[in-house]
Amino acid sequence: MTYQLNINGTAHDVDVEGDMPLLWVLRDVVGLTGTKYGCGISACGACTVHINGQAVRSCSLPIKDVTGAVTTIEGLSPDNSHPLQKAWIDKQVPQCGYCQSGMIMSVAALVAQHPQPSHEQLAETVTNICRCGTYDRVREAVASLSNA
């Protein structure tokens, strides 16, 4: 079946099975590989994208259930000019970097609703797993946004 998607502001018609997860449509059909596969059960957050501005785990979301505009890490800012991406670079958040696109997308959705989130809001909302343990640097990057 053909599904019409708005991904990063561009219309895409994809001919896939309805139960194909959004993650694989993004990576294998559309060619946007910034969104990562981590666990396949929506637990780790490596696959986080936005749908209508809300953070969503794409690895277990069937394409047939996608309604609204999808934004991936590539659509957040193609040139790393988003304030959150600048803060990530400035605070040297990534270590291995694998989880970081999902982490940034989760934090970006939070910051869009709460420009200066508390430590508690960050901990409650951003449940992404970082194997390298860069959580302190994530908090520093988010805190630096209020100083900008």
Whole domain around residue 100: which residue ranges?
83-145
Show which of 40, 74, 108 is a domain's final residue. Answer: 74
More confident residue, 145 or 109: 109
Q: How confident is the model at residue 147 (pLDDT cuts 50, 70, 90)?
A: low
CATH classification at residue 111: 1.10.150.120
The tens digit of pLDDT for each residue in 64-110 reads 999 999 999 999 998 989 999 999 999 999 999 899 999 999 999 99
pLDDT at 146: 76
Is 45 within 8 Å of 104 (Cβ atoms)? Answer: no
- Give the pLDDT confidence of 8-57 residue by residue, as tens digits: 999 999 999 999 999 999 999 999 999 999 999 999 999 999 999 999 99
CB 49 within 8 A of CB 38: no
Specify the pLDDT at position 97.
Answer: 87
Same domain? For 40 and 10 the reply is yes
**127 Cβ partners below 8 Å, 6+ apart?**
45, 106
Same domain? For 103 and 66 the reply is no
The structural domain count of the chain equals 2
Residues 70 and 90 in one domain: no
Would you say residue 148 has pLDDT above 60? no
Give the tokens for residue 12. Answer: 């895409």
- Structure confidence by residue, pLDDT tens digits, 118-127: 999 999 999 9
User: Are 64 and 92 in a shared domain?
Assistant: no
Instruction: Indicate if 11 and 56 belong to the same structural domain.
Output: yes
Residues 21 and 68 in one domain: yes
Helix H, strand E, coil C: the string for the chain is CEEEEEECCEEEEEECCCCCEHHHHHHHHHCCCCCCCCCCCCCCCCCEEEECCEEEEHHHCEHHHCCCEEECHHHHCCCCCCHHHHHHHHCCCCCCCCCHHHHHHHHHHHHHHCCCCCHHHHHHHCCCCCCCCCHHHHHHHHHHHCCC
pLDDT score for 121: 94
Q: Tell me what pLDDT residue 106 has.
A: 97
